A and B are shown apart, each in its own frame.
Chain A
């Protein structure tokens, strides 16, 4: 519990500008005074990266949540970066549209934060990445300058596509204040399939899903996450499949899924129609859910080919360290999420450093996606260094030479 004075301090150190002009002013001031800022949206992915160094004050975009323009007949929308994913979703739903942003905690996560974190979800193999839907951005740079990129048209090669640079830059190059998207007509219907996997059926089930003619919008193998995710584990965990599309297509897909899983030795499949997307949301939430001070969540990305190797390496290392793992394997994109926890904070803290080292030996690209602050400062949160790190550093040095925005949060202490 924070004491009253600590709470007051925190409030005083928090800036929540109501307009872009005010936000520019705050950034300009911080820049002039050489005072770094922590940039925050909904604070849902604050467990990624290192806590920014030297920054005493937090700048939050959550008040910039207006819908500036929604040309639903054009399938385009322009929103303030502080709007929540849920807010955006319900505005779009009124006109039967959607944008596949697929990030955790939709009720709190902001559009700006989700994009800045470059979050990638399970439906991207079908619909593309969030970046593919961004057609324009407005950003406040480290010196307070307001810059635009793109526009409100769905095809645009007028100048550099600066939005691509900002998406996934973790607020280290600028603060997104407004984003223009192209939208999609929402699928007519959605259906979730959940199946408990008996012993030794996992690999067969995974292969069967890979062979499906109608690709699911999302398919995951889940192990653990009791209560957090629908369904129950069998000895080999459980399968979660989301199909989206016309009623006719879903009928066909349903037959295929049941036949495929049946052949793989899976006796029963549970179907969720009403609330299918809610069940999918719980999957998304699990990807970054922590259990206080006694857990960490990793993302091990890669191709499906080596998913099994990553999975095995994770479980072996976790067991050796005396901790427990729960996992989510994205069967369409190859991402593996593993939540590793200890019985209590003490046991966890004692072991996590060694485990982090061991995991990175096996899976160099391991990225921490959720872990509370003091613990993760000593971990290799971003995994192996990208080939072009020196260029990235040069970009940071040009956009934010004084290190005003989220200094130290991103890879290579950018």
Chain B
């Protein structure tokens, strides 16, 4: 029997896709480059996943786990073909333990749906990537996704208590923070499907806050807004979220959603503080004062829940709203020490200008996590080249400022050859040891994270950094 027949026999006809038009859908994620798989399976259980991996092994095919395919760095693209394992059907909340504030979920469960399903219990799941309406908790785990509220709640890894994994041979094992021994849970989170396939997840839940306030401050330019962010943090205040959008983004968002952002400002800063009612006035006046000291031209406090939701809807839909400027955008993801934000933003503007590109900035400012959106038309080769050039400059600038090349989207296929901008050969070889333990044959999501060559006999950094445009 061939690959298709064996998969069909094990998982059922309904769970296996082999037609070219079906496979084409799974060739992409939210990154520009694509490669079709040889087959796609839609397992219903961990046992299905294990069976699919065993069959893939026997047929010499690599496997690529896939959540919602919203990844921005080609992580779910089957770069070497093989079998895509889609978690679309393993999307349930399996158990909720209100007293101990934890839940057991399948990896295909959509991020926002978890919080919605448990709302009546007074709990929520904190990590909230802007893609949370579509991205999966499995994908979030695999990328250690961040989000606006990670400023105070921490990224995905802080909320993962244990995993059920199918390994490269199709064997099942579990990890738990409650167990003694090495923290395999923490190491597997963020490994982008290269160390194991996540088939079930224990997540930590948090109590819904008693009081939430959302404020919007407007500034003359994005540098002033980012200086305010640095000053708020520098003053020892860590709100729940600190998000900046520049005028380019504000224009797009207003046209798309009418979120109520002032379109005459150079940038807006969205601030959220969750906590106890007793602290709120004090917090508000401290933050407001810093904003005014740093040139805020207006300050608005959301008065109703609907107003809060609208302000947030604008932020979370920002990237999509830029479609009015150009057919495509490339979203860069870099992180710098927070006090370096103004310098980093200035360089981003310069780079974009040098390359003749329109750039918009919408980002997790409180974490120093920048997301310049470079707008372009992918049919125009010159523009594509400009995006690559500017993207690379931005990476280098952030590394020079003491930052790093990915704050939350991951390395995937896109950035694997730039990893050596921040890590030495020894650092990379050390990471490759984990790969040697968990996937010595490189059958799990091959061609991802590691520069070509790392972990094989020779370990050498690539000659030059390059980035390929996405979207």
Q: A: which residues have CB within 8 A of B? A: 71-76, 96-97, 118, 128-129, 131-132, 139, 141, 145-149, 151-162, 164-165, 167-169, 173, 184-186, 213-215, 245-246, 248-249, 251-252, 301-305, 365, 367, 382-383, 386-389, 391-392, 394-395, 398-399, 410-412, 414
Residues of B within 8 A of A71 (CB): 337, 339
Interchain nearest-CB distance for A256 vs B (Å): 11
Say whether, besides A97-B236, A367-B180, A387-B175, A155 and B187 are in contact (CB < 8 Å): no
Residues of B within 8 A of A75 (CB): 233, 238, 338
Say whether, besides A151-B403, A155-B367, A161-B144, A305 and B99 are in contact (CB < 8 Å): yes
Instruction: Please report which residues of chain B, range 14-34, place their CB below 8 angstroms from some CB of chain A when the two chains form the complex.
Output: none
Partner of B182, one of A151, A153, A159, A392: A392
Say whether, besides A74-B337, A155-B155, A162-B430, A388 and B173 are in contact (CB < 8 Å): yes
| Contact B339–A74 (Cβ < 8 Å) | yes
Partner of A395, one of B158, B176, B182: B182
Residues of A within 8 A of B335 (CB): 153-156
Quick check: is B372 within 8 A (CB to CB) of the other chain? Answer: no
Which 5 pairs of residues, A with B, have the shortest CB-CB distance?
A: A164-B186, A185-B236, A386-B179, A73-B234, A147-B430
Quick check: is B463 within 8 A (CB to CB) of the other chain? Answer: no
Quick check: is B406 within 8 A (CB to CB) of the other chain? Answer: yes
| Contact A155–B146 (Cβ < 8 Å) | yes
Say whether, besides A131-B186, A162-B187, A185-B238, A388 and B411 are in contact (CB < 8 Å): no
Residues of B within 8 A of A72 (CB): 234
Some 29 contacts from A to B, beta carbons below 8 A apart, are A73-B234, A74-B339, A131-B186, A146-B426, A149-B427, A151-B402, A153-B335, A153-B403, A155-B150, A155-B369, A155-B407, A157-B409, A158-B405, A160-B449, A161-B190, A162-B187, A164-B189, A165-B184, A165-B434, A167-B186, A213-B210, A245-B279, A248-B282, A303-B100, A388-B181, A388-B184, A392-B184, A395-B184, A412-B181
Partner of A148, one of B150, B237, B427: B427
Partner of A169, one of B182, B230, B422: B182
Interchain nearest-CB distance for B160 vs A (Å): 11
Residues of A within 8 A of B191 (CB): 160
Quick check: is B154 within 8 A (CB to CB) of the other chain? Answer: yes
Say whether, besides A75-B338, A388-B181, A252 and B278 are in contact (CB < 8 Å): yes
| Contact B189–A161 (Cβ < 8 Å) | yes
Interchain CA distance A128-B159 in the complex, whole Å: 9
Residues of B within 8 A of A365 (CB): 178, 180
| Contact A391–B408 (Cβ < 8 Å) | no
| Contact A391–B278 (Cβ < 8 Å) | no
Residues of B within 8 A of A382 (CB): 180
Residues of A within 8 A of B185 (CB): 164
Residues of B within 8 A of A394 (CB): 437
Interchain nearest-CB distance for B412 vs A (Å): 10
Partner of A388, one of B179, B230, B405, B422: B179
Quick check: is B143 within 8 A (CB to CB) of the other chain? Answer: yes
| Contact count A vs B, C-beta below 8 Å | 215
Interchain nearest-CB distance for A405 vs B (Å): 13
Interface residues on B, range: 35 or more
Interchain nearest-CB distance for B277 vs A (Å): 9
Interchain CA distance A170-B135 in the complex, whole Å: 36
Interchain CA distance A372-B37 in the complex, whole Å: 58
Interface string of B401-426 (1 = CB under 8 A from A): 01111111111000100010011101
Interface string of B383-410 (1 = CB under 8 A from A): 0000000000000000000111111111
Quick check: is B431 within 8 A (CB to CB) of the other chain? Answer: yes
Say whether, besides A132-B154, A398-B433, A147 and B427 are in contact (CB < 8 Å): yes
| Contact A159–B279 (Cβ < 8 Å) | no
Quick check: is B42 within 8 A (CB to CB) of the other chain? Answer: no
Say whether, besides A74-B339, A248-B278, A153 and B407 are in contact (CB < 8 Å): yes
Which of A146, A149, A398 has the largest number of chain B CB atoms within 10 A? A398
Interchain nearest-CB distance for B237 vs A (Å): 7
| Contact B99–A158 (Cβ < 8 Å) | no
Across the interface, name the chain B residue whose C-beta is closest to A146: B426
Across the interface, name the chain B residue whose C-beta is closest to A412: B181
Quick check: is B377 within 8 A (CB to CB) of the other chain? Answer: no
Interchain CA distance A411-B182 in the complex, whole Å: 9
Interchain nearest-CB distance for B164 vs A (Å): 10
Interchain CA distance A97-B233 in the complex, whole Å: 11
Residues of A within 8 A of B187 (CB): 160-162, 164-165
Across the interface, name the chain B residue whose C-beta is closest to A163: B186
| Contact A164–B424 (Cβ < 8 Å) | no
Quick check: is B268 within 8 A (CB to CB) of the other chain? Answer: no
Residues of B within 8 A of A149 (CB): 427, 430-431
Say whether, besides A304-B100, A388-B175, A154 and B338 are in contact (CB < 8 Å): yes
Interchain CA distance A83-B407 in the complex, whole Å: 28
Quick check: is B174 within 8 A (CB to CB) of the other chain? Answer: yes
Residues of A within 8 A of B284 (CB): none
Interchain nearest-CB distance for B413 vs A (Å): 14
A162-B431, A165-B183, A386-B180 known; 7 new pairs, CB 8 Å cut-off, are A71-B339, A161-B144, A165-B187, A168-B183, A248-B282, A388-B174, A389-B181
Residues of A within 8 A of B254 (CB): none
Interface string of B210-221 (1 = CB under 8 A from A): 100000000000
Interface string of B41-72 (1 = CB under 8 A from A): 00000000000000000000000000000000
Quick check: is B83 within 8 A (CB to CB) of the other chain? Answer: no
| Contact A160–B175 (Cβ < 8 Å) | no
Residues of A within 8 A of B175 (CB): 387-388
Residues of B within 8 A of A392 (CB): 181-182, 184
Partner of A246, one of B184, B210, B278: B278
Residues of A within 8 A of B265 (CB): none
Interchain nearest-CB distance for B43 vs A (Å): 21
Across the interface, name the chain B residue whose C-beta is closest to A164: B186
| Contact B339–A161 (Cβ < 8 Å) | no
Say whether, besides A155-B367, A248-B279, A395-B434, A411 and B338 are in contact (CB < 8 Å): no
| Contact A157–B406 (Cβ < 8 Å) | yes
Interchain nearest-CB distance for B471 vs A (Å): 19
Interchain nearest-CB distance for A309 vs B (Å): 15
Partner of A249, one of B146, B234, B278, B433: B278
Across the interface, name the chain B residue whose C-beta is closest to A185: B236
Say whether, besides A151-B422, A155-B368, A156-B404, A387 and B449 are in contact (CB < 8 Å): no
